[in-house]
Structure 1
Amino acid sequence: MARAQGARSQLAVAFETVYGTAPASGFLKVPFASTTLGTEQPLLDSELLGYGRDPLAPVKDASTSDGDVVVPIDAVAWGIWLKGAFGDPTTTGTAAPYSHEFASGSYSLPSMSIEKGMPEVPNYEMFSGVMVDKISWQMQRSGLLTATVSCIAQGEDDATASAAGTLTEVDVERFGHFNGAIQRNGVSLGNVVSGQITYANNLDKIETIRSDGKIDGADPANAQLSGQIVVRFADTTLRDQAIDGEACELRFGYALGDHSFELVAHKVYLPRPKTEISGPSGVQVTFDWQAAKDLSLGRMCTATLINDEETY
């Protein structure tokens, strides 16, 4: 008897032309580390009386299709998730490498179809109307560099055979933590122990009454870019900025040869933190930063991916 194994699972992704309608072809096999994307439908306990102490049969409640996909931040496939989070990029360049610029604040976000396949069972779960609600990742000195992509889907259809057709495999050219750098106002920010970045679309589910139990869509609300940086307390530059209430530009980037990824938060505000001394070791200070719209640029942040892909 075959049993599902994560090592044999696969994830196929394609952008939709019509929300909630999976395309017949054009799916890409993308790398991923883990996923919780799935559909849940709880049961409601019966409240009826008059049939003794033993309860009557439960009733199905509304279903939800959502979850996270943990993916590597790489030079190619990462652009798919950036497009889902920010919308279509502006691509420049007449030959490789090409520069793909993603801007925050778009009112129109694309939807995807994602098929989660376990061929040894066989079981294939096709999620349609998938939209990216949030992307987040950590910056640190060592370890594997991954991002968590939080998704909301319209619904799920199960089958014993793949509906994605012939898959095109995406090359994996992965960035590492040692490729990373953080800059403040164009100057490398020193003494950084770790960082965390989260961009959220704050999707609002359209939960109308339907016979199939699916949602009608998900509308983007106010976008949010926030995070955390932990620094060794070596000077008062960040603390002074927080006290003065001024904004700065923060750049979080990775480079590997001709390929790179950079997220620029154009206007970042810092709260005034406590300066705690917890022992004889070095003193660390944590800043929970928030980004705001730069009115002169007309956006809160810009994500730029440079690679050999001509288009997304």
Structure 2
Amino acid sequence: MARAQGARSQLAAAFETVYGTAPVSGFTRLPFASSTLSAEQPLLGSELLGYGRDPLAPVKDAITADGDLTIPIDAEGFGFWLKAAFGAPVTTGTAPGPYTHEFRSGNWTLPSMAIETGMPEVPRFAMYSGVMVNQLSWTMQRSGLLTASAQLVAQGETVASTSQAGTPTDLDLLRFGHFNGQVTRNGAALGNVISAQITYANNLDRIETIRSDGMIDGADPSIAALNGQIELRFADMVLMNQAIAGGPCELEFAYTLTSGESLTVTAHAVYLPRPRIEISGPQGIQASFDWQAARGSSPARMATITLVNNTEEY
């Protein structure tokens, strides 16, 4: 008897034309490291009296479909998650490439996806419709595997014994590594950085209307947030002076491959709090700045994400 194994699982995704309606074709196989995306429906215990000490049968509550995906930050597949988080990009370039995809914060209308996770050996293929990205986050550091966490909100789940995604398209995996990364401040390299954490959140508001199927009607984006933390060896007063003065700076988090592909996240107006500086012993002194981004003046948006690759469109 075959048993489900994570090594044999697969994931395919496609953007929906109508929210909650999975397309019949156009799926792309995307790499992932782990997934908690699933639907659950709890039971509500009976509160009724008068039938003795043994409880009456429970009733079903509303369905919740959500979870997290751990995904690699690569030159092609990551563009699908950027489109889901920020909306369709502005793309420039001519065949055969490279193409520059510019994703911009502030869109009120975000696309939804259909995502199928498959366990062929069971077999179990779960199609999640109306999937939207609530949050994208990752950490820049010196070594290790570079992955991001995508926090997803879905409308519902449909389970079948065969795949509903048809024959998905495969992408070339061109993965960025931590050693490809760089952090700059106002165009100049920011030194002594130990790690940098980046989180973008759409703060989706679930539309929980009364429905016979127990699903949500949708998820509307509210005020977005871009924040994180920069930890560095305390070697100068550059960031401390900015924190004291209270003005913004532009921070850029970038990865570049030798083959020309690149990913650049630019926060146009970043504000820094004044942190505590502690001397905890004879070793090097570190400082942590919990930064927050806001809408800039030129350009008049909070963030721009630029992805350069050979994919013509998303």
The TM tier, using the shorter chain, reads: over 0.9
User: What one-letter code is carried by the residue in structure 1 that aligns with 2:232?
Assistant: V
SS at match of 2:290: strand
Aligned pairs for 1:29-48 within 5 A? 29-48=29-48
1:102 match = 103
2:156 is the counterpart of 1:155: yes
Q: Secondary structure at the match of 2:291?
A: strand
Q: Which residue does the alignment assign to 2:222? A: 221
2:275 is aligned with what amino acid? P
Cα distance per residue 1:117-176 (max 9 Å; x no partner): 000000000000001111000000000000000110010001001000011111100000
Tell me what 2:187 maps to. Answer: 186
Determine helix, strand or coil for the equivalent of 2:163. Answer: coil
1:207-230 Cα offsets, whole Å, 9 max, x none, are 011111111100000010000000
Alignment of 1:165-184 (within 5 A): 165-184=166-185
Match of 1:66 in 2: 66
Alpha-carbon distance in structure 2 between the residues aligned to 1:297 and 1:97? 24
AA of the residue aligned to 2:262: S
Give 2:18's aligned residue: 18
In structure 2, the residue matched to 1:89 is 89
TM-score, normalised on structure 2?
0.98
1:16-68, Cα deviation, whole Å (9 max, x unpaired): 01111110101001000001000111111111111111211111111100011
2:8 pairs with 1:8? yes
1:274 aligns with 2:276: yes
Q: Tell me, in whole angstroms, the C-alpha distance in 2 between the residues paired with 1:133 and 1:231.
A: 29
Q: 2:112 maps to which residue?
A: 111
Task: Work out which of the residue numbers 295, 303, 306 in structure 2 matches 1:304.
Answer: 306
Find the aligned partners of 2:277 and 2:98 in 1 and give their Cα distance: 44
Aligned mates of 1:235, 1:249 — CA distance in 2: 18
State the alpha-carbon separation in 1 of the partners of residues 7 and 145 from structure 2. Answer: 18
The structural deviation recorded for 1:295 is: 2.8
Instruction: Give the structure 1 partner of residue 236 of structure 2.
Output: 235
Distance 2:290 2:195 in 1: 12
Superposed CA RMSD in Å reads 0.7
Q: 1:285 aligns with which of 279, 284, 287?
A: 287
Distance in 2 between the 1:293 and 1:55 partners? 55
3-state secondary structure, aligned to 2:242 = helix
Matching residue's letter, 2:284: G
- Code of the aligned partner of 1:191: N
SS in 2 for 1:80: helix
* Mean Cα deviation higher: 218-227 or 48-57: 48-57
Alpha-carbon distance in structure 2 between the residues aligned to 1:94 and 1:144: 32
Deviations 1:160-200 (A, max 9, x none): 01000011111100000000000000000000000100000
Residue 254 (structure 2) pairs with residue 248 (structure 1): no
- 1:273-294 CA-to-partner distances (Å, cap 9, x unmatched) read 0001111110000000000001
TM-score (normalised: structure 1):
0.99
- Counterpart-to-counterpart distance in 2, 1:130 and 1:155: 8
Could you tell me which runs of 5 or more consecutive residues in structure 2 were left unpaired when the two chains were aligned: none
| Structure 1: distance between partners of 2:236 and 2:221 | 40
2:49 matched to which residue of 1? 49
Paired with 1:80 and 1:230, the residues of 2 have a C-alpha distance of: 29
**Counterpart Cα distance in 2 of 1:143 and 1:4:** 28
Aligned residues: 312
* Alpha-carbon shift at residue 206 of structure 1 (Å): 0.4
What is the CA-CA distance between 1:250 and the residue it aligns to?
A: 0.2
Letter of the 2:197 partner, please give it: Q
- Secondary structure at the aligned position of 1:254 is classed as strand
- State the secondary structure of the residue aligned to 1:303: strand
Name the aligned partner's letter for residue 82 of structure 1. L
Per the alignment, residue 141 of structure 2 pairs with: 140
> Displacement of 1:296 after TM fit?
3.1
1:212 and 1:53 map into 2 onto residues whose CA distance is 32
Query: Matches of 2:300 and 2:274 in 1, distance apart?
Result: 27
- Secondary structure at the aligned position of 1:280 is classed as coil
Q: What's 2:211 paired with?
A: 210
